[in-house]
Amino acid sequence: MANKLDTAMWISRLFTVYCSALFVLPLLGLHEAASFYQRALLANALTSALRLHQRLPHFQLSRAFLAQALLEDSCHYLLYSLIFVNSYPVTMSIFPVLLFSLLHAATYTKKVLDARSSNSLPFLRNLLEKLNANQQNILKFIACNEIFLMPATVFMLFSGQGSLLQPFIYYRFLTLRYSSRRNPYCRFQCLSTERFMQSP
């Protein structure tokens, strides 16, 4: 069952990367790009829900279970997808989805290649290794992107492209990312930004 879930998440992540790329590079036209934006976020929501189920397989309708779920990064990104899925398409909001999906899909792709043969598809292996070597920089970029999306949601509200609740819900998402146990980059980037703002 775990292997089936991993494979399903791998496919949904590859689909997320595909849809995100077609939104960022609108090769099929601007009208189609908006639908790819929505598809990317829905695919990311599916991946996050599957990952959350993998981490917490026994669902309970209780306050304790909800508190435990809110500690999981997959729950944070499920919330993230739901915040932006029906909003005006913003390129900034697709980058965390695209890059996380790319990193996780690359990790699983490497596992698949290793299972086949240790030296199959050398070009793809080289690409995956380069991606893995830049993982920390990518995670820092994602964290910065998430932080700077906060003022962007406020701007969207005043420009009539966002809802009244969106900045408040997004702020809650940011507080969850700040307290993440598995990924400290948002916290580090927040502290770095704070130090920069306070420096003379």
Q: What is the mean pLDDT of residues 12-27?
A: 92
Burial class (CB in 10 A: 0-12, 13-18, 19+), 139: buried
Range 70-74 contact pairs with CB under 8 angstroms and sequence separation of 24 or more: 70/176, 71/181, 73/180, 73/182, 73/183, 74/48, 74/49
pLDDT-derived band at 97 (thresholds 50, 70, 90) equals very high
Are residues 34 and 90 in contact, defined by beta-carbon separation less than 8 angstroms?
no
Average of per-residue pLDDT across 103-127:
82
The residue among 151 and 179 whose pLDDT is bigger is 151
pTM for this entry: 0.87
Residue where the block lists tokens 């820092």: 140
Q: Are 177 and 124 in contact, with CB atoms under 8 Å apart? A: no
Amino acid identity at 179:
S
Confidence label for 92 from pLDDT (cuts 50, 70 and 90): very high
For 28-74, how does the pLDDT look when each residue is reduced to its tens digit (9 = 90+)? 777 788 899 999 999 999 999 999 988 887 778 888 888 888 888 89
pLDDT tens profile 153-184: 998 888 887 788 898 999 998 888 888 777 77
